[in-house]
């Protein structure tokens, strides 16, 4: 009986990992701050929960690092112009969330769509 329960638990865990969000690919975001807006692009590379990639936008080009846990995505971009902190929820080929940059940009929100 215990072996059967263990096998069932393993199968359930494996099936849950099959449905984990995958943000890999090219994305276009629309970011809105109090002082303006922009449309940066992102190239994401996901391996398990680890997220890496590149930001290209108003603040130049910057590497990014972060995590994906279920549908929750968090990442940081950083270069000599500042650090951006993004936090959002992935739903299929769209993502929505908040972003924070140093003054004067401050806190804003974003909507993103997979481009490829």
The span from the CA of 61 to the CA of 29, in Å, is 15
Domain membership of residue 13 (yes or no) is no
Quick: pLDDT tens for 12-58: 444 444 556 899 999 999 999 988 999 999 999 999 999 999 999 98
Domain membership of residue 101 (yes or no) is yes
Looking at the DSSP assignment, which residues form a beta bridge with residue 53? 44, 64
According to DSSP, residue 20 is labeled: S
What Rg do the C-alpha atoms of the chain give, in angstroms? Answer: 17
Domain membership of residue 42 (yes or no) is yes
Structural domain range at position 35: 20-114
Domain membership of residue 65 (yes or no) is yes
CATH of the domain at 36: 2.40.128.20
pTM of the model: 0.81
């Amino acid at each position: 009986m215990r072996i059967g329960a263990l096998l069932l638990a393993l199968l359930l865990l494996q099936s849950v990992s099959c449905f984990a969000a995958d943000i890999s690919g090219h994305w276009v975001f629309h970011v809105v701050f109090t002082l303006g807006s922009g449309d940066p692009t992102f190239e994401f590379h996901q391996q398990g929960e680890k997220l890496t990639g590149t930001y290209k936008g108003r603040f130049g080009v910057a590497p990014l690092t972060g995590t994906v846990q279920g549908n929750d995505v968090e990442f940081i971009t950083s270069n000599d112009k500042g650090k951006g902190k993004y936090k959002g929820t992935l739903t299929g080929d769209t993502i929505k969330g908040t972003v924070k940059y140093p003054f004067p940009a401050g806190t804003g929100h974003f909507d993103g769509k997979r481009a490829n």
